[in-house]
Structure 1
Amino acid sequence: MTEPEFAEYLRESRICGRVATARENNIDHMHGFVAGNEHLEFGVRWTREWTYDKVFQLMAERVGTSDDPDFLEGVDTISAEKCIAALNEYAHIFGQTVADGGSLLFATGHPAGLFPIYAELARAAESAGAHIVRIQEGDRFLDGDLRQIMDVVMFEQYGNLQHTHFPGPMRLVLEQAGAPIPDLVVADHGMAGFAASAGLRTIGIADCNDPGLFVSAEQGQIEVAVPMDDNVTPHLYQPVIEFILTRAGLL
């Protein structure tokens, strides 16, 4: 699949283009990030001052959301071209770490959508000789605990894998006694934001209502934040997985 064909697929599947996330939700989350909302800051340590206007412009530049400040309601957008450019960088970093025989930690706060991407990347990485960091499962977080399924760390609560923006699960992982420091963290949401702010090499995926990771990238913390809808039905991500593995030299 050529990049123009892939871009068209991303738009058709609504991974990019006119995505499901509403404009009003994007605006609300930008305000929440600036206000220090615990669920929206993603564990990102600020190295400069951020205002709503600065975050608004950053999201237009890095994600492709509308740069019209008077557009307050409706369907917002993610640029397929910006997504592909970021995916190329993501794949390069991932592929180089695997080629070097490095260690990787995979984690997600979006198990219903992004989990299959990381599971496939972990399988390919280990098959190619890289090392997967495995955690001590069961550390308590809120009313749940940490699980690692198919080499992907997630947060479980009341018997369900949880969608979470909190950085706490990654904090617990990195605090585990004797835990190896990964050469690369492959994650999203607060898992990625906290790891990057802790100084670990990190690559991530973020939706257009997730300004934290794009701020992290702008500050030089997370190495790349890929803009895409993070909760389409999982089978739609298969071409994304294939794109990453091909560009990483693993397919």
Structure 2
Amino acid sequence: MSNLDREALGRHLEQTKITGQVATPREINLAHITGFLEGQEHLEFGVDMRQPWSWDEVFDLMVERCGIDPDRNHTEGQDTIGTRQCLDSLDRYRERFWAAVDQEADILFATGHPAGLFPIYQHLATAARENGAHVMTIREGIEFNGGDLRQINDVVMFQQYGSLAHTHFSEPMRRVLEQLGDQGRRPSFVVADHGWAGAAASAGIPTIGIADCNDPGLFVSEAQRDLEVCVPMDDNVLPGYYSKVTNYILDRPLKAA
């Protein structure tokens, strides 16, 4: 059991709107299911469709794993992320992260949400290195879509016009893996989100990720057993609000006797 009580963390998640009544409108969540199934570049997340998925099946999956409102007649307004689903997934995320650290894995960290999720990965990377894992580095400057890839405090991100940028695209991860492959290197574990996580998981790399309620791709990847863990949470609240989430993950589970 974590020193940070699950119930207290759950209250914090809802108070900061990381879960519960979140900011993403219902109509966007529903539209993104359609966009994902149509393979829209901003929504496909690099997920290989290993089986046919209908709109209703993805909707039901989002109800089960993300905690969106199950009422199909609710088409506009507020939507939800389940606190229970988030906490349960965080437990699995934490266990898998520390298992990779114990295995002294070659871990790659990346995010498409530098204004929100970056601090989580930064602190996890520090903990991974301090406990014997190898945090992978890339040769910065891989060009993509008018910008390039940077690695700041161990986390790979996309920059454009001098600013770190929000991106859902999967192509940056593919280019990172191609560069590393050319050097005879490959991550044995990836901690990421959005297209970064989806592309890594589809490439067969053990990966754990975070996804918002308008990001069905990673939940599908998890259901297909490509992505190992998908944690549902709002991915762009104020970064300081994630500090208790980070502390929860960093509270290392006790090893079985």
Query: Which stretch of the first structure deviates more once superposed, 240-249 or 70-79?
Result: 240-249
Distance 2:89 2:145 in 1: 33
Structure 1 residue 114: deviation in Å? 0.3
Which residue matches 1:195?
Answer: 200
Residues in 1 aligned to 2:171 and 2:157: alpha-carbon distance in whole angstroms: 11
Task: Answer yes or no: is 1:28 the counterpart of 2:31.
Answer: yes
Q: Could you tell me which residue of structure 1 aligns to residue 178 of structure 2?
A: 175
Are 1:91 and 2:122 an aligned pair?
Answer: no
Deviations 1:60-116 (A, max 9, x none): 000000111100011100111110100110010100111121110000001000000
Q: Structure 1 residue 134 and structure 2 residue 166: aligned?
A: no
Matches within 5 A, 1:146-165: 146-165=149-168
TM-score by length of 1: 0.97
- Residue 212 of structure 1 corresponds to which residue in structure 2? 217
Q: Structure 1 248/142 Cα, relative in aligned 2: closer, same or farther at 3 Å? A: farther
Cα deviation code 1:225-244 (max 9, x no counterpart): 00000000000000000000
Task: State the SS of the aligned residue for 2:92.
Answer: helix
Aligned length: 249
- Residue 62 of structure 1 corresponds to which residue in structure 2? 65
Partner of 2:247: 242
Sequence identity (%): 55
* Contact kept in structure 2, 1:18 and 1:76, CA below 8 Å: yes
Residues 248 and 94 of structure 1: CA distance in aligned 2, closer, same or farther (over 3 Å): farther
- Give the distance between the partners of 1:23 and 1:235, measured in 2 at CA: 25
Structure 1: 5+ residue stretches without partners: none
Using the alignment, how far apart are the partners of 2:185 and 2:78 within structure 1? 43
Instruction: Report the RMSD for the aligned CA atoms in angstroms.
Output: 0.9
Once the two structures are superposed, residues 161-219 of structure 1 have per-residue CA deviations (whole angstroms, 9 ceiling, x without a partner) of: 11001001100100012152112100000000000001000000000000000000000
Deviation, 1:247, is: 3.9
Question: Equivalent residue of 1:82, what SS?
Answer: helix
Unmatched tracts of structure 2, length 5 or more: none
